[in-house]
Amino acid sequence: MTQVSMTINGASVSGDVEGHTLLVDFLREDQRLTGTHVGCDTSQCGACVVHVNGRPVKSCTMFAVEANEAEVSTIEGQAHADGSLNTIQQAFQDHHGLQCGFCTPGMVMSAAALLKDNPKPTVAEVRSYLEGNICRCTGYHNIVKAIMAASGQDVSAIAAE
């Protein structure tokens, strides 16, 4: 066992982990932050995306010890301090960008990473950026629309409801 310390959503935490403990398991099992999900074994689905030191990573493809001393942000830390949804979360709700909700935490975290680097992406850039996030419910239409809306761009031309 190795002791790791990190900041998760602004709070300092530490815990004992084994070398092979994945960051996602540390988050879910030790920290009980179960909003970060596991949807595959091959680092493709993106349900586990969190930010480590400001960058999006797949927490199922990183060891907890590699996040020692890092700043980690998860879906649980995204809402405003008063509990209200942040701009991206609100856009996902307003534009029905989620259905079963399982891929949603990863989608929101990826969207946040995209808009940090590219505040006004094109539709093609949004679609391209999401290649590591799989959703089986929405057909992506409303996810893309929500991210465009969250970037402050006019989405009225994107079809319907």
Partner 1 sequence: MPKDGIGAATVRREDARFLTGTGQYSDDIKTFGQAIAVFARSTVANGIIKSIDTTAASGMPGVLAIFTGDDFTEVGGNPAGWLINSRDGTPMHEPKRPVLAHGKVRHVGDAYAAVIAETAAQARDAVEAIEADIEELPAIVNMKDALAGDNYVHDEISTNQCFDWGWIEDNRDATDAAIKDAHHVTTLELVNNRLVPNAMEPRCSMAEYNQARDEYVLHTTSQNPHLTRLLISAFVLGIPENKLTVIAPDVGGGFGSKIYHYGEEALVLAAAKRLNRPVKWTADRTEAFLTDAHGRDHVTKIELALDKEGNFLAFRTETMANVGAYLSNFSTATPTFLHGTLMAGNYTVPLVYVNVKAVFTNTAPVDAYRGAGRPEATYSLERVIDKAARELGMDPIALRRKNFVKPDQYPFASAAGLEYDSGNYDALMDKMEEIADMTGFAARRKASEAAGKLRGFGVNAYIEACGIAPSNLVGVLGSRVGLYDAATVRVNATGNLSVMVGAHSHGQGHETAFPQVVAEMLGIDASTIDIVHGDTSKIPFGMGTYGSRSLAVCGSAVVRATEKIINKAKKIAGHMLEASDSDIVLKDGVFSVGGTDKSVTFGEVALKAYIPHEYPLEDIEPGLEETAFYDPANFTYPSGAYCCEVELDPDTGKVTVERFAAVDDFGNVINPMIVTGQVHGGLGQGIGQALLEETAYDENGQLLSASYMDYIMPRADDLPFYVVDHSQGNPCTHNPLGVKGCGEAGAIGSPPTVVNAVIDAMQSGGHNITHIDMPVTPHRVWSAMNNA
Partner 2 sequence: MYAFDVERPTTLAEAAAALGGDNQALGGGQTLIPTLKARLANPDKLVSLADISEMKGIKLEGRLLRIGGSTVHADVASDGTYSALSELASHIGDPAVRSRGTIGGSIANNDPAACYPAAALGSGATIVTNTREIAADDFFQGMFETNLNDGEIVTAVKFPVPEKANYQKFVQPASRFALVGVFVAKFPDGVRVAVTGASNDGVHRWSAAEDALSADFSASAIEALSVPAENLISDLHGSPEYRAHLVKVITGRAVTAAS
Residues near partner 2, by CB under 8 A: 2, 18-20, 22, 41-44, 46, 49, 52, 55-58, 60-63, 65-66, 68, 110, 113-114, 129, 131-133
**Token code pair at residue 120:** 């006004």
The CA dihedral of 37, 39, 44, 48, to the nearest 10 degrees, is: 0
User: Which does residue 140 bind out of partner 1, partner 2, none, counting CB within 5 to 8 angstroms by kind?
Assistant: partner 1
Shortest Å, Cβ 5 to partner 1: 22
SS3 63: strand
d(CA 115, CA 118): 5
Query: Count of residues for the chain?
Result: 161
> Rounded to whole angstroms, what are the CA distances from 62 to 1, 20, 45?
17, 9, 15
Q: Which residues of the shown chain bind partner 1 in the complex (CB under 8 A)? A: 20, 28-29, 32-42, 44-45, 47, 74-76, 78-79, 85, 89, 92-94, 96, 98-105, 108, 123-124, 126-128, 130-131, 133-145, 158-161
User: Which does residue 61 bind out of partner 1, partner 2, none, counting CB within 5 to 8 angstroms by kind?
Assistant: partner 2
